[in-house]
Amino acid sequence: MNLTVPPQRYRSTIDGPIRAAVPQVIGKALTDEGEIAMSVCKEQHRYSELFADLPPSQAGSGRHKCAGCAYNRGIEDGLAQKEHIDLDLDGLPDSQAGNVRHQSPHAAWAMGYLEGVRRSYK
């Protein structure tokens, strides 16, 4: 059998699709080197008034997590009427900007969950 060694910059044809899918699965972006990067939210929801009145989260888990992204995950979970909840805050992007800065991602998720459940009945 004649084995060949792939060139140094070789990438398999399935490498691209896997790299594209992984961030959606674990909620974090991959760098070109395939390392998990600390993702920072760039969505406009960071400036939504919806999150201005959430309780502050200055300490503990979720302190730097994007409340807007937590809200969106809550909507998805509410639409699915999930009965077993895993907030997985570590999988959410960080945010240091706008109205989501230091706002409770737990409260944002719960607000989104209620909205998702409401929409699920329409």
Residues in the chain: 122
Rounded CA gap, 49 and 39, in Å? Answer: 23
Contact between 94 and Zn ion per CB under 5 A: no
Query: Rg for the chain (alpha carbons), in Å?
Result: 19
Rounded CA gap, 71 and 108, in Å? Answer: 5
Residue 70 or 78 with smaller CB distance to Zn ion = 70
Q: Which of 54, 69, 87, 110 binds Zn ion (CB under 5 A)?
A: 69
Q: Which of 62, 68, 74, 78 binds Zn ion (CB under 5 A)?
A: 68
Rounded CA gap, 102 and 118, in Å? Answer: 27
Near Zn ion in 21-60, by CB under 5 A = 41, 43
Residue 66 or 89 with smaller CB distance to Zn ion = 66
Q: Which residues bind Zn ion (CB under 5 A)?
A: 41, 43, 66, 68-69
